[in-house]
Structure formats: structure tokens, C-alpha cells
Amino acid sequence: MKEYIKNEHYDLIIKYLQGGLDSQGMDDFYTWVNENTDNKKLFFETKAIYDACSNSDNLTEDIRKSWDRLLQKKGIQCLKKSKWHQFGNYAAVSLVAVCLTSAFFLSNEHETKIATRYIGGDGLDADVVELPDGTQVCLGSKTIFRYENDYGNKQRTVYLEGEAFFEVAKDKDKPFIVKTKEQDIEALGTKFNVTAYPSDSLLTTTLLEGSVRLTTENRSQRVILKPNQQLVYNRNTHISNIFDVDAKQYTSWTTGYYYFPEQSLKAILYRLSHVYGVQFTVNSERLNRRTFTGTFYRGQSIKDIMEIIHLSIPIRYEIDERHVTISEI
């Protein structure tokens, strides 16, 4: 018996890819996508077609053929023409949508093979992925991660949207490369952390052990990091800065702990927004600059964290589901 794609799931995926979900919609999406492997597979297959359409001049026909092949392969009844037209409209609007994955289909009838993909959830523990070469990858909240079928043939290339900590297996003949939208981060046997959420203005790489070489788009000069160095690239200004840091403080999240040493409230809330999927609004720039030192663990509620911050920085806060408003007392 043939199954049908539920309209609410189909629409949920498209709205997520377009960035059109509110906080409740984001919660619904992540709850659904992390329910089982079939949901994740459907999401990534849809995303691959969606992304490929962004680079296609012949949207309607290419999308329709690829989508039909996907549905037939999964034994799902093809969409009605009106619903298909709706998908075409979604894709047409999405020409500026985020594109991480490469083309999912060719212009002829031959599909490329689906790569291995993962999406990080909201669990109390980091999701850990072991790659074919033994490399360990810890995925942060709401992180999309993938690698191609030819991983390890000549080189080891992975793709990241979100945050991940990498413990790379040594293989001097096969470079390990993390690709984000703006940067390639190359490593040989090393440990490092990358934060590259598509919605963020900052892209951050922190080196714990070994060395990494970073190549940024539109820049010929490469940067090599040493242990306990951090490179922060500003997507808005296109400026990179290197800082000396205690790298362990930026990787403690893999064990569920977040340590903030004399950091500004703005930086702390920026970090917590990804961990908890919460939007913060601070009604004072002076308050944003206040500093705080402390440790949180992921099992704590937002209310508990606000109370702890309040002990050091006098604040008034209001929690409205996934939105927190903070002001001076």
C-alpha cells in the first residue's frame, strides 16, 4: 500500500528551509525530524533537491523530475499538480536560501548517491558520530553535518552548518577538511571546535591540539592556528581576528557544561541561544557589556540560569516560552 507525504510535514520542511518558522514552528520541526531516521532521511532528501533548485535555471522541470524520482524510489504517490506547483513556487522564492549541500541530481535521469547526513538534536548530551576512518565528531544543538560517499578515497571532506567538535584520526596522506559556507578548515590528526551557524554573524574555530589551516573565501592568504588559539571571522565585515584562549573552555559543551570566564552578557546569551533554542532581547547596551564568570550545565532551566546571572548582574527578566527579555533594575 502506497503512503502519502503528510502536508504538514512537507510544509514544515519547506518553511524551515526558507527560514519562515516562528519559535513554536522551530520546536515542532526539531521534534519531528529527531523522532526517527525516516524523518531525517526525508528532510535531507528534500533539502538536497531544494538546494539544487537554487542553482537551476530550469526550476519547474528539473525539480519535478527529481522529486518524482525520489517519491517513486520511496514508494510514495506522486504529488498532485497543484501541490507540485506549490513546491515550485517555494523553490522559486528560495533563490537566496542557504546552500550547503552540492547538487543532488543531474540534468539527465541519473541521480548522485545520497551522502551520509546527521542532524544534532536538543538532548542533554552531545550527539557523537564516528566517521569511517575513526574520526569522532560531537554535534551541537540544531547542527547539520554530512560527508560524501567518497570520503577517505583521496581526502576526507565533511560539511557543517552549526557547531561540532572534531577529534581527527591521523592520516597524513588524506587531509581532513571541514567545509562551511565561507571557510575550509584543514587538519591532520588534531582536535578542534567549529561554530558556524548560518544565521550567525561570527564563524569561530578554536584549536585544542595539533594544527589547522584555514582558507576563507575571497582571500588568498591562509591562516594556521596553534593550540589554544581561536580565529573569529565576521561575516558582515569580512574581518578575521586571532585570539589566545583556553581552548578547553570552548569544548566543555561536549560533556554538557558551559564555562564562561569573565565574558560579556552579550556573549553568554549568544551561546545560550543555540544551546536552548531561545531568543534573548536585552534592553540595554550597557547591560550587554557587563561581565560574568560561571558554569552552567545543559540540564538547567533558563529560569535557573537567569537567577544565577542575577546574583552577579542585577537584571529583570521575563520569560515568554522561547523568548527572554532582559532589562536593568
Length reported for the chain: 329
Contact between residue 119 and residue 33 where contact means Cβ atoms under 8 Å apart: yes
What is the rounded distance in angstroms from the CA atom of residue 29 to the CA atom of residue 27? 5
Q: What is the pLDDT of residue 183?
A: 94
What is the rounded average pLDDT of the residues 110-124?
A: 61
DSSP conformation class of 105: B
What is the rounded average pLDDT of the residues 310-317?
A: 90
What is the rounded average pLDDT of the residues 56-74?
A: 50
Residues 175-185 have pLDDT tens digits of 999 999 999 99
Q: What is the pLDDT of residue 171?
A: 92
H or E segment and range at residue 279: strand 279-282
What is the rounded average pLDDT of the residues 315-321?
A: 92
Reading the block at residue 175, the C-alpha cell is 587531509
**Residue partners of 24: CB distance under 8 A and separation at least 6:** 321, 322
Residue 185's CB is within 10 A of a number of other CB atoms, namely 26
Average pLDDT score, the chain: 77
Q: What is the pLDDT of residue 77?
A: 40
SS3 percent helix, strand, coil of the chain, rounded to 5, is 35, 35, 35
* Residue whose C-alpha is closest to residue 12's, from 1, 2, 22, 305: 22
274 to each of 126, 193, 197, 269, 278, how far by Cα in Å? Answer: 13, 15, 9, 9, 7
Report the sign of the C-alpha dihedral through residues 282, 283, 285, 289, in that order. negative
Amino acid at site 41: K
Q: What is the pLDDT of residue 27?
A: 73
Q: What is the pLDDT of residue 267?
A: 86
Residues 274-293 have pLDDT tens digits of 888 789 999 999 999 999 88
105 has pLDDT over 50: no
DSSP conformation class of 97: S
Residues 238-264 have pLDDT tens digits of 999 999 999 988 888 888 888 887 889
Which has the higher per-residue pLDDT, 217 or 160? 160
89 has pLDDT over 90: no
